[in-house]
């Protein structure tokens, strides 16, 4: 009985960590979009969806560091 309780707590902790990761990822994407908007970079709906759909934390962080210095989304994506 005790092991089941430990399992459930471990599962709950893991679920909580995943929730934090997802929420953090969403905040980082919003920050990237805010930098782009502040710099006058206009995005297509497809580009916005590409940002929102990304689950690669390292890639999102790289976008965050580059966003203040680019003039287009394709430049940010490394397509130029």
Q: What is the pLDDT of residues 34-71, one digit of tens each?
A: 999 999 999 999 999 999 999 999 999 999 999 999 99
- Residue 26 CA: distances (Å) to CA of 2, 44, 75: 36, 19, 21
* Domain regions of the chain by residue span: 2-77
Instruction: Return the structure tokens found at 65.
Output: 């560091």
Q: What is the pLDDT of residue 30?
A: 94
Residue 51 burial (CB count, 10 A)? 19
User: Among candidates 76, 65, 79, 78, which has minimal Cα distance to 43?
Assistant: 76
Considering the entire predicted model, what is its pTM?
Answer: 0.78
**What percent of the chain is modeled with pLDDT above 70?**
92
């Amino acid at each position: 009985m005790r092991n089941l309780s430990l399992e459930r707590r471990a599962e709950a902790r893991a679920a909580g960590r995943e929730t934090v990761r997802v929420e953090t990822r969403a905040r980082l994407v919003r920050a990237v979009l805010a930098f782009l908007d502040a710099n006058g970079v206009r995005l297509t709906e497809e580009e916005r969806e590409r940002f929102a759909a990304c689950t690669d934390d390292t890639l999102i962080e790289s976008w965050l560091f580059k966003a203040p210095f680019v003039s287009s989304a394709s430049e940010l994506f490394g397509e130029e």
